[in-house]
Amino acid sequence: MRNHQERLVLTADADRRAIERELHGGVQQYLVALATTLQLARRVAASEPEALGPLLDDMERDVRRALEEAALLAQRIYPSPLELGGLASLLRSVAVQAGVPADVEVSAGATYAPEVAMTLYLCWLSALASGRSDTQVTIRVKEADDTLTFQLAADALGPDLDRLRDRVEALGGGLVVESDVLVGSMPLRR
């Protein structure tokens, strides 16, 4: 069995590979299509100017899709609302984007250190990724005695459980599964 530090390094490497795959399969594909359409438009412009309109429409579509993919990837890497202290609204909006019914309960006005908020966000993403459009996913985040606790209930908890556990433990907390509910705690940091 691998030690904790080695698992953290392997997890970081796996995250970078996942980002590379998303860039290659998303943004890069739209940019390749755009480059191809631009070459075609250059050839068509001189000989068939009336055919240029549909090509420009295709280019505009590919640029918009590339921008959307880049924004989604950036949001997954580090969501900007975490900097603004909007954990509850971020968790809700991600659930809406995923098309999964969700119930989010975060202490009112709560703000957390970025590494703590990011850990909660990653746990939520894992639960949403395994959720279905007909099953509600729930997260409850509470504070007590300088400890942040959370419970996450989902149809399935996803394949990232070891990676999430390593991240929570690296922050001095713990993560367990109790009857299909992910229960975690971390020292409260602001």
The whole-number pLDDT of residue 94 equals 82
The arithmetic mean of pLDDT across residues 167-174, rounded, is 90
| Cα angle, residue 155 at apex, residues 149 and 161 outer, rounded to 5° | 55
Say what percent of the chain tops pLDDT 90.
Answer: 9
Top pLDDT among 38 and 98 is at 38
Top pLDDT among 189 and 120 is at 120
Between strands 174-178 and 147-153, the pairing is unpaired
The answer, as to whether pTM is greater than 0.75, is no
The arithmetic mean of pLDDT across residues 96-123, rounded, is 82
Q: Which two three-digit tokens encode residue 58?
A: 């295709």
The whole-number pLDDT of residue 150 equals 92
Q: How many residues does the chain have?
A: 190
Beta sheet of 102-106, edge-to-edge order: 102-106, 137-144, 147-153, 181-187, 174-178
The whole-number pLDDT of residue 140 equals 93
The whole-number pLDDT of residue 43 equals 86
Which residues, at least 6 apart from 117, have a Cβ–Cβ distance to it below 8 Å? 82, 87, 111
